[in-house]
Amino acid sequence: MSNQTPPSRQLIGGRFAEDTDAFVEEFTASVMFDQRMAHQDIEGSRAHAAMLAKQDIISAQDKADILRGLDEISAEVTAGTFPWSVGLEDVHMNIEARLTEKVGMAGKRLHTGRSRNDQVATDIRLYLRTALDEISAEIDRLLEGLLMQADANADAVMPGFTHLQTAQPVTVGHHLMAWFEMLLRDADRIRDCRRRMNVSPLGAAALAGTSYPIDRHFTAEQMGFTGPAENSLDAVSDRDFAIEFCSDAAILMMHLSRISEELVLWSSAQFSFIDLPDRFCTGSSIMPQKKNPDVPELIRGKSGRVYGHLFSLLTLMKSQPLAYNKDNQEDKEPLFDTVDTLMGSLRAFADMVPAISFRHDDMREAALRGFSTATDLADYLVVKGLAFRDAHEVVGQAVRLGLETKRDLAEMELSELQEFSAAIEQDVFGVLSLEGSVASRDHFGGTAPNQVREAVKRGRARKAWLAVGTE
Ligand code: ARG
């Protein structure tokens, strides 16, 4: 080959009569994005080299040279001085070529009994495992903020909605604990994904394993995997874990979009339920009065790209024959962007939630205006002996009077209420008050303030596994 031979041809070009087309070289390269896995690639190489030496496949001296070279490369990557080359196609060949530059023959022996196919599968799992732990820590921080706010707002009353119409009064803490439940399930899904993905593909080589006397259990253990993947064909071609993560991420973003939507509504002048801290909002370039809830809006919008990445990966893997195919190189960008989007969204939320202030007076006023205790009046009449359907009719008439005279049920005279049913007595006002209404829903999972406080306590215990890290 000529002096102009591209670097990748120098590494793996033996069987080619002509150089790679310049555009094809660029088009097929992945180093622009897979260099993000450099440290994982080095970790995999360290384990592989240690195993090769332990099995007498390479010498102790080769191993020492390789590890020293990898340490230097790791420092270069961290410092940003590593000389990445598109001509070397991907992160794996870039690092291998650099290693050989540094330590000579030992570097050339590192690839014994290994292929980029098991190497890349290993790298992605190592990368994602760390990402999952970081994501779990951010969810934990967000859940902590929700528990704090739920406890602080356990007594405050707001309208609960169905169809976005005022339905029944609930406590603010109860509403926040609903968000907590959604996100705790998400954390559990992430934990489950981590458990299933934490196996080592290394040693599957290109697809069929290798004739060298390797020890896959050793490398798996070195890298903190629970064990080696069972089947070499599956090990190099399985991307289920990436799809599973994106699916978990899509559900999580869906949850964040729902919470975002409520924050956007609640911070509007029309609802006026909350104040978002100024540092999470921006102004308008033309309307001086505006304070826009940009962070929740943006997160609501970002859910779209994560759903898209899930579909990219599902479609990428659809109909792929065993084993490795170059298609798989397309798994990284959707996966990385999902990690970035999720981390950013969780971080913003975890920072923002503890700083939200709730306008208790306005929330209470909204619950009053919406006849939210109408169901309580109906239940009261049932206790006094009416059939529920008849009670429903009586209360409907009372609500109509309230609408006509712009008053809540609790603001009516006893004599007025008695026009609708003689069963109504003075004690009705205990039932019609917002505080009486929420306090009466005093069962497991109910909205009563003391139930919310109990739920917060249980919540703290139920999420304890998150703080100690995933198993
Ligand atoms: N850059 C490739 C990827 O991301 C690495 C594996 C390439 N293997 C191969 N035989 N071409 O999937």
CA distance 229 to 209: 12
Mean pLDDT (the chain) is 95
> What local confidence, expressed as pLDDT, does residue 18 receive?
87
Quick one: 72 and 177 in the same domain? no
CATH number at residue 452: 1.10.40.30
Ligand 1 centroid, distance to 326 Cα (angstroms): 6
Determine whether the shortest distance from the Cβ of 237 to ligand 1 is under 6 A.
no
pLDDT tens digit string along 106-124?
999 999 999 999 999 999 9
Q: Taking Cα atoms as reference points, which of 396, 386, 453, 468 lies closest to residue 423?
A: 386
Q: Tell whether 387 and 465 lie within a shared domain.
A: yes
- Terminal CA-to-CA distance of the chain, rounded, Å? 51
For residue 364, report the distance from its CA to the centre of ligand 1, in Å: 60
The answer on pLDDT for 403 being more than 50 is: yes
Per-residue pLDDT, averaged over 246-271, amounts to 98
Question: How far from 304 is each of 198, 317, 337, 416, CA to CA, in Å?
Answer: 28, 21, 12, 53
From 365, 384, 417, give the residue that closes a domain.
365
Please tell me whether residues 176 and 313 are part of one structural domain: yes
Phi and psi torsions of 306, nearest 5°:
-70, -40
Identify the band that residue 288 occupies on the pLDDT scale cut at 50, 70 and 90: confident
User: Could you tell me if 422 and 302 lie in one domain?
Assistant: no
Residue 6 pLDDT > 80: no
Catalytic residues: 163, 284
**Global pTM?**
0.94
Using a 6 Å cutoff on CB, does residue 116 contact ligand 1?
yes
Query: Where a domain ends, among 342, 365, 388?
Result: 365
Instruction: Answer yes or no: is pLDDT of 3 > 80.
Output: no
Residue 2: pLDDT band (50, 70, 90) is: very low
Which tokens in the block code for residue 43?
A: 């970790």
Tens-place pLDDT, residues 176-219: 999 999 999 999 999 999 999 999 999 999 999 999 999 999 99
Q: Is there a contact between 294 and 280 (Cβ–Cβ < 8 Å)?
A: yes
Residues 259 and 245 occupy one common structural domain: yes
Coil/strand/helix, residue 289: coil
**Residue after which a domain boundary falls, among 365, 387, 406:** 365
- Which of 9, 20, 116 gets mutated to test ligand 1 (max ligand atoms within 8 A of its CB)? 116
52: domain CATH number is 1.10.275.10
What is the CATH classification number for the domain harbouring 294?
1.20.200.10
Residue 70 lies in a domain: yes
In a domain, 227, yes or no: no
For residue 36, tell me if it sits in a domain. Answer: yes
Ligand 1 centroid to Cα of residue 37, in Å, is: 13
Give distance in angstroms: CA of 315 to centre of ligand 1.
18
Q: Determine the structural domain holding residue 440 and report its residue range.
A: 368-469
Q: Give the Cβ contact number of residue 278 at 10 Å.
A: 10
128 occurs within a structural domain: no
Kindly state if the Cβ of 329 falls inside 6 Å of ligand 1.
yes
CB 74 within 8 A of CB 39: yes
Q: Is residue 218 part of a domain?
A: no
Residues 52 and 81 grouped into a single domain? yes
| CB of residue 96 inside a 6 A radius of ligand 1 | no
pLDDT(337) > 60: yes
Q: Residue 469: what pLDDT? A: 61
Q: Is the pLDDT of residue 154 over 80?
A: yes
What does the pLDDT look like over 60-81, one tens digit per residue? Answer: 999 999 999 999 999 999 999 9
Total domain count, the chain = 3
Q: Do 373 and 453 fall within a single domain?
A: yes
Do residue 438 and residue 319 come from a single domain?
Answer: no
Domain assignment present for residue 228? The answer is no
Residue pLDDT, tens place only, 418-444 = 999 999 999 999 889 999 999 999 999
Task: State whether the beta carbon of 117 lies less than 6 angstroms from ligand 1.
Answer: yes
Report which protein residue has its CA nearest ligand 1's atom 2: 329
Residues 341 and 416 in one domain: no
CA distances from 439 to 59, 301, 331 (A): 75, 37, 52
Q: Which atom of ligand 1 lies closest to the CA of 34?
A: 4
Residues in the chain: 471
Integer Cα distance of 437 and 431 in angstroms: 6
**171 in contact with ligand 1, CB cutoff 6 A:** no
CA distances from 449 to 72, 360, 462 (A): 59, 14, 20
- Whether 240 maps to a domain, the answer reads yes
Q: Is the CB of 120 under 6 A from ligand 1?
A: yes
Residue 189 within a domain: yes
pLDDT-derived band at 468, boundaries 50, 70, 90: confident
Closest residue by CA, ligand 1 atom 4: 329
Lowest mean pLDDT among 137-151, 302-316, 361-375: 361-375
Pocket of ligand 1, candidates 24, 85, 94, 326: which has the most ligand atoms within 8 Å of its Cβ, to mutate? 326
Q: Are residues 252 and 338 in the same domain?
A: yes
